[in-house]
Chain A
Amino acid sequence: MMLSIRDLSVVFTDRGAPFTAVDRFCLDMDRGEVVGIVGESGSGKSMTAHALMGLIRRSQVTVSGSAVFEGIDLLALSREELRQYQGRDLSIIFQEPMTSLNPTMRIGKQVEESLRIHEKLSRAERKARALDAMALAGLPDPESVYPQYPHQLSGGMRQRVMIASALVLRPRLLIADEPTTALDVTIQAQILETLKDINRKEGTAILFISHDLGVVKALCGRVVVMKQGNIVESGAVDDVFYHPRAEYTKLLIASRPARKKLRGGGQDG
């Protein structure tokens, strides 16, 4: 087992009565597995991912439980100890490719930032690895994108930059927090294809978070359905999609607008 999450809870204590955003979340993931977490906004799915990555830094929020990753409980680590894993063994991409990149830093520098933090390499070696990751993330002509700034790229390209910077150290786990929600449908399909390729080629496990069961179905083998911080259903994605047991899952499926199967190819501009 690569990752074993037990009783992960996230509780907000800043406004009067404590509010439980994630309630005793449990999940096991094998190496190279692609697992989806699905639920509406506010269901705690992103909060789960951020807690796992150690990105919940507010003192009024308590994260409890355990998340054993390759034998180490990430939630028991100090912030300083956790830094050794962030960006190296596990990394994350976010929903908003427009704002998740630093507007005044060149693309190449952002892609190779994890390398700079975790490894001692020469500038040329770093650049070579960055270009390599950019190609893996499906960026056409990495050499010309390398010196550019985020505002010069489209949303889809920026998300590919995010993917490249998350993958530059070939982490074993990639957390994708609604990576395609802000993109239009054709680009969404292309990004999903890229993530699939990466999973196949590099064996990177992906924890894919989405509000869209259809997207999860296109990518993941297993799925966890969340509602108001609790797991309402989990299992193989086809079982959950075609034979939902929970009422909430049925609602989620019914709320999906009918659309053609998401299959795409080629490059986004």
Chain B
Amino acid sequence: MTDNSVTSVKSPTTITDPGESNRAEHLWGDRLVIRTGRIIAWLFPLLMVAIVIQVIIRKFGFNQAWLDDAQWWMYGIAMLTAFGYSISTESHVRVDIFHQNYSAAKKARIELFALGWLLLPFLILMTDIMTHYAISSWTAGEGSDSPNGLHMLYLLKMALPVLFMLAILAAMSALYRHLIKLTPPAVWKYILAGLPAFIFLAERVVNYVIWWHIRISQPDLSVFSINDEPLFDWALPLGTAIVMAVILAAFLAARRSTTGSLNS
């Protein structure tokens, strides 16, 4: 029974680094998400150590509530980072009975629709509402449930919108990656590929501009009644108009530059 006999059964490589699987295609956005993921992945061994330490010190009668909290803090941050990471590695589960037989172009089109029209609006929504959630936690100075737990819960809650932004970066980068498989890239094509997401984003921006406009111009108005102002009805049409204008401008600029290069 020596170790030689064991290793003589050739060790199959059943595991690979998911971030390296289609590295050649990756853009800087994908790489950034994957690098972040690599760092965050160290939370898993750390979590393991934290759990083991806690089991041990509990045996000796010490109970550290902050260690309990630290466990799900680490878990939460790692999980949400993992969400963005697996967008970049394209490992989200899909039903591929038909998908596997599609042409490369069709696969790219499906990916554009899935990322730009389905996923991205949701990520923007989550970033937006998680930011509000974090702000209200910050203003309330929210702490832990247990008296000697990890206080400053708002720190964790503030990390969540940031991690959703990481997922947005992953999705936007993947959107571009699949767009250039189909056509030569152009700004207007990119915006069209993620049209609902960009309209929603513009609507949110206009919304906040209006909010601060009202807040500054009518300082005596209560913060809670600002949202009832009729001006907010204009956020969506205005946001849509801005996105349309950007598409048109980008389209005209792209056409001018191509005709210009043809003439020269």
- The answer to whether A and B assemble together is no
Which A residues fall within an 8 A CB radius of B?
none
Which B residues fall within an 8 A CB radius of A?
none
